[in-house]
Structure 1
């Protein structure tokens, strides 16, 4: 091995229980799909991931072949392709490879909010099995929250099949109340400023200091928000109830998870007793995923 190649020791190689033990083969997570997997792409990603884990971010094609379990010729061909596309750089002095600056472009369109949705989806599936009623994951969008993920399409008790993209009023919904009660103070003031500039019911509520003081005190003390049909959407005022918990990151809300139900079927106190513990467990899992 060249002296330079000795610097490409990868994370975990010498550890007692390494991610890549000597002689071990790096495996990508198993994924089931109705479409056939593109093996070339999968192998290329294996090579990128292995290269990313190398100390000093560089490795020889032989080292990468050992780490990935792929044939050395295959690895070399993949590396040359990545070099031609600008994602990997090859050193002429020692023929080692390292990631190029262009790999950062792959994450430009991915935001923290997208990560929340990714982490939350499986947790919401488990929540559905516990409560049966549908749940929504909503994230801030200006002066409102926007539903980014939902289990409505899977719940036998769903009354709205199309929820993703729907905007939720901040002061009239359980999710909005939970969010504004737990977001950063500067963000809260900006949201209220936007609401006061409107000409609807929320403008009046956002301009009422007594209402706001009572709302914030209640939500912050309870740790969750509720609504009992206050939002008149699709002529449903008085019909739909919800309870929502904030998803916290660094102590402030970054989104909300809510369970939605029919008021004629579930009383508010029963919803709190039955759904808040399940929601809290789900939120803890989501928050753990965000901090991982």
Structure 2
């Protein structure tokens, strides 16, 4: 009887690519399964999320744990991320020297919005924060943090990224979102179209609880780094800090001004 191996999610686009190391990709995909909401996962759950056989998961988790990227949890057969994962990200964050220069302006804007202000860039079909500043008013309210990700399709920062792309790049990205995140596209596709139309008039994208109920967000594309990565700035605030009709008129000018300052710094 033949054994049917399921292709792990996200690998189909690399079918036939002889340079693509599937074994390495599978191991890295395990690391991406962990979230702040679920920091501890059983091997059975990892198998379900990756589509890999349980024996393969067992070998991979053993190896990743031996290298410090996973840490066995108290419950047998459960793992959490290890400190070695954090060490991987530090060289990247440290290479963004502009973060120190633009931080004072971001901190001032965070105080003004009574929330958080972040810079993000694209990671596949998500946006990931590379810098975040929070006001003291939100110190106990988790809005943003470095490394946090948001789907491009459902977030203001993701839609601002789309708006900041060149036409051909934008078309390719929209097609990718339709194919790779079909559920999100069905839910937010029409909103993306409306948001891009509004962006042409306002220069920013806005979300009133689209991503998280009770959270208002404004976002604007800043510009491209030396490596051509598109950087996006957003401001996020809990809805209880101001009424929806006050959000854009009072904060959009400040966000756009902060984006211009950052653009000058990285340019």
Shorter-normalised TM range: 0.5 to 0.7
Q: Report the equivalent of 1:176.
A: 158
| SS of aligned partner of 1:137 | strand
1:155 is aligned to 2:136: yes
1:260 is aligned to 2:260: no
Q: For the pair shown, which has the larger CA radius of gyration, 1 or 2?
A: 1
Q: Report the equivalent of 1:138.
A: 120
Partners of 1:246 and 1:253 within 8 A in 2: no
Relative distance call for 1:117 and 1:190 in structure 2 (3 A) is farther
Which of these residues, 191, 194, 197, is aligned with residue 217 of structure 1? 197
Q: What is the deviation of 1:199? A: 4.5
Alignment partners' CA distance in 1, 2:130 and 2:123:
10
Alignment partners' CA distance in 2, 1:162 and 1:131:
13
Q: Report the equivalent of 1:196.
A: 178
Partners of 1:179 and 1:253 within 8 A in 2: no
TM-score by length of structure 2 reads 0.56
Q: Report the equivalent of 2:251.
A: 275
Root-mean-square deviation over aligned CA pairs: 2.9
Partners of 2:159 and 2:192 within 8 A in 1: no
Q: What is the deviation of 1:203? A: 3.1
Relative distance call for 1:189 and 1:260 in structure 2 (3 A) is same
Runs of 4+ in 1 over 6 A off after TM superposition: none
Q: What is the deviation of 1:115? A: 4.3
Q: Report the equivalent of 1:49.
A: none
Q: What is the deviation of 1:230? A: 1.4
- More moved, 190-199 vs 222-231: 190-199
Alignment partners' CA distance in 2, 1:261 and 1:157:
9
Deviations 1:91-110 (A, max 9, x none): xxxxxxxxxxxxxxxxxx77
Which of these residues, 245, 248, 262, is aligned with residue 223 of structure 2? 248
Partners of 1:146 and 1:167 within 8 A in 2: yes
The alignment covers a number of residue pairs equal to 174
Q: What is the deviation of 1:170? A: 1.3
Partners of 1:175 and 1:225 within 8 A in 2: yes
| SS of aligned partner of 2:138 | coil
Q: Report the equivalent of 1:5.
A: none
| SS of aligned partner of 2:121 | strand
Alignment partners' CA distance in 2, 1:211 and 1:161:
22
| SS of aligned partner of 1:117 | helix
Structure 1 runs not aligned, ≥5 long = 1-108, 232-236
| SS of aligned partner of 1:171 | coil
| SS of aligned partner of 1:197 | helix
TM-score by length of structure 1 reads 0.52
